[in-house]
Amino acid sequence: MLILLKGGRIVDPANGRDEAGDLWIENDRIVAAPPGRLADEVHDVSGKIVMAGAIDIHSHIAGGNVNTARLLLPEKHQNHLPNPPALPLSTAKWSTFETGTIYASMGFTTVIEPAIVPHQALQAHLELSDIPIIDKGTLTVLGNDDFLLSLLRDGEGQAAVADYVASAVAASNGLGVKCINAGGATAFKYNARTFSLDDVVPFYGLTSRQIVEALQRAVEDIQIPHPLHLHANNLGIPGNVATALATIEAARGERLHFAHLQFYSYGAEGDRGFSSAAAELAAAVNAAPNVTIDVGQVMFRQTVTISADVLRQFNGVAMAKPKKSVIHDGDGNGGGIVPYLYRENDFANAVQWACGLELFMLIDDSWRVFFTTDHPNGAPFTTYPEIFALIMNRDARAEATARLPPEALAMTTLPSIAREYTLSEIATMTRAAPAKLLGLKDRGHLGEGGLADIAVYTRGKDLAKMFRFAHLVFKDGDLVVRDGRVTHYRWGKALKVNPGYDKAIDRRLAAYYDHHFGVSRDLFAVKENFLPRTGMFREVACAR
């Protein structure tokens, strides 16, 4: 099938294009204009914006903690709308089916679930299998797992650590490695209530810094394209900008992805001891080309915080709204589910909101700042269109800002910022840069040979509407969305890496599981025969 998208504005920063032009699709790929052939299907998209499908690098869409949150809050997702017959469960709020449907209708075609501990990987992949249309991937959470900590404590050397990390990622079919409050969850099991970069994990005698450094090196050693994805210590605490700055410093110039930086951009200034330090932090990111960040924007509404940073979640239990929460001391990280209501007239929430926008605005390089709400921790991903409007239009920002408590705004630099994101910068931040960061060479761009994951938007005054309802969306060349409505399901791939390693570590791990846990490690492996469909993994090459 040969498809022509005729006369749109092609916004493709990966190939340096922002111009009117045609785009040809054959089967699942973007192709050069085929001389002498007529398209089987022509879409006149003149005046429309044509971009690659968007890629979300950090959104909690699957796994045991997410599912616990669903079960914890039935009253927050009552349904009212029957689904179209062709789209079973697509209107069931917060279902996997709805997740894929909404992402697709906004023009997203790849989404990464960033927090899967190895022992929850099978459930996570079962959930991902039920998310229609989009491609998915998971990051494997390490850094509080006893085997790793014992390797480090016993000074086993970097090769053993790298083999272990590779084996854990391979067994859980992950796309990369995430580390969440390194050592903090383990320290919490020993009754630590705070845990910072140079605090020591009891029993193991290791600092958080040492664990992060070891994982960062391991990821490089086994040549996973995505750098270590770090959820740092002291999330959400006034004055934690010091931790964030120290963590950037601790990367020693090596590649590091710093997740949801907004939650670490807090000073302790002012009468209330809470202020934005986003400007200072943005300057540090600008000066550290080895560091990428995603924002974790806060929006004002009911949400639920879902995090494998169990220590932080435990400390947040008193803030739960509604007043109930789950704290899980799991194998490795565990997690905490704490519902939360961000309010516009709340001083701290307003500062948080402003911090996120300051980071968007003050980090110069749109290849190194990524668009996230840490869904659903800062806000549900359904708020993305509103956030696009806020960063692309200073009037929209001023209007929203005017509703906030002035004393909160006084603690930020946001009112002084005039920057507006261009469409090309949006495409960089949500398409080209994520593909590069994750090592996905086949997407994030509109060049020949690229995967035909394409979003076409209707430019209008209402930027939020433009991004909420894509005019057309193609996934693998299949037209799945027309005027913001999904027309049919198809099933996307799970992207994974398969790093090479010395298999001797698997024998050690088998013995460790038999002895310590008393169960076989094989129970936790994600094998295709346990999933609803076969052939659904796509390997992303290791080596950079």
Q: Which of residues 53-92 bind another protein (CB under 8 A)?
A: 62, 64, 66-67, 70-74, 77-83, 86-89, 91-92
The residue from 43, 48, 58, 119 that contacts another protein (CB under 8 A) is 119
CB 85, min distance to another protein, A: 8
C-beta of 106 vs 338, nearer to another protein: 338
Q: Number of residues interacting with another protein: please give it, by CB under 8 A.
A: 71
- Cβ neighbours around 128 below 10 Å, total: 28
Our finding on whether 205 is near another protein (CB under 8 A) is no
C-alpha 415: how far from its chain's center?
28
187: tokens are 């320290």
C-beta of 16 vs 518, nearer to another protein: 518
x-or-dash string of contact with another protein, 365-404, rule CB under 8 A: ----------------------------------------
Our finding on whether 325 is near another protein (CB under 8 A) is yes
CB 241, min distance to another protein, A: 29
CB 173, min distance to another protein, A: 12
Our finding on whether 503 is near another protein (CB under 8 A) is no
3-state secondary structure of 381: helix
499, 474, 500, 504: which is closest to 487 by C-alpha? Answer: 474
Please name every residue paired with 135 in a beta bridge, in sequence order, or none if there are none.
110
CB 4, min distance to another protein, A: 27
The residue from 12, 56, 113, 127 that contacts another protein (CB under 8 A) is 127
C-beta of 416 vs 529, nearer to another protein: 529
C-beta of 27 vs 520, nearer to another protein: 520
CB 207, min distance to another protein, A: 17
Q: What single DSSP character describes residue 14?
A: G
The residue from 202, 239, 405, 415 that contacts another protein (CB under 8 A) is 202
Judged by CB under 8 A, the chain residues 161 through 190 that form the site for another protein are 188-190
CB 540, min distance to another protein, A: 23
CA dist., res. 453 & res. 48, Å (int): 16
CA dist., res. 137 & res. 445, Å (int): 19
For residue 132, the one-letter residue type is P
Q: Are 475 and 492 in contact (CB under 8 A)?
A: yes
Q: In degrees, to the nearest 5, what angle opens at C-alpha 440 toward C-alphas 362 and 30? A: 105
C-beta of 275 vs 307, nearer to another protein: 307
Q: What are phi and psi of 335, to 5 degrees?
A: 170, 175
The residue from 6, 328, 343, 485 that contacts another protein (CB under 8 A) is 328
C-beta of 338 vs 369, nearer to another protein: 338
3-state secondary structure of 200: strand
Our finding on whether 200 is near another protein (CB under 8 A) is no
Judged by CB under 8 A, the chain residues 282 through 321 that form the site for another protein are 314, 317, 320
Furthest-apart CA atoms within the chain: distance in Å: 72
- Cβ neighbours around 499 below 10 Å, total: 21
Element (DSSP H or E) covering residue 248: helix 241-250
For residue 514, the one-letter residue type is D
Answer left, alpha or beta for residue 256, where phi above 0 means left and psi between -120 and 50 means alpha.
Answer: beta
C-beta of 381 vs 457, nearer to another protein: 381
C-beta of 132 vs 385, nearer to another protein: 132
CA dist., res. 98 & res. 87, Å (int): 9
Our finding on whether 191 is near another protein (CB under 8 A) is yes
Q: For residue 322, say if its preceding peptide bond is cis, omega within 30 degrees of 0.
A: yes
3-state secondary structure of 275: strand
The residue from 271, 532, 534, 535 that contacts another protein (CB under 8 A) is 532
CB 102, min distance to another protein, A: 13
C-beta of 532 vs 535, nearer to another protein: 532
CA separation (Å) from 73 to 40, 111, 304, 340?
Answer: 48, 24, 9, 11
C-beta of 324 vs 544, nearer to another protein: 324
Q: What are the residues whose beta carbons fall under 8 Å from the beta carbon of 332, sequence distance 6 or more? A: 117, 118, 119, 141, 142, 144, 145, 146, 185
C-beta of 347 vs 537, nearer to another protein: 537
C-beta of 45 vs 494, nearer to another protein: 494
CB 123, min distance to another protein, A: 4
CB 165, min distance to another protein, A: 20
217: tokens are 């090196």
C-alpha 80: how far from its chain's center?
29
CB 169, min distance to another protein, A: 18
Strands (E), 330-427: 335-341, 369-370
CB 211, min distance to another protein, A: 17
**Four-residue CA torsion sign, 477, 480, 482, 483:** negative
3-state secondary structure of 411: coil
x-or-dash string of contact with another protein, 139-158, rule CB under 8 A: -------x------------
C-beta of 81 vs 287, nearer to another protein: 81
220, 244, 241: which is closest to 232 by C-alpha? Answer: 244
CB 449, min distance to another protein, A: 29
3-state secondary structure of 176: strand
C-beta of 347 vs 517, nearer to another protein: 517
Judged by CB under 8 A, the chain residues 481 through 500 that form the site for another protein are 488-489
x-or-dash string of contact with another protein, 508-527, rule CB under 8 A: --------xxxx--xxxxxx
Where helices occur in 363-421 by DSSP H, the ranges are: 384-392, 394-402, 406-409
CB 94, min distance to another protein, A: 4
CB 181, min distance to another protein, A: 16
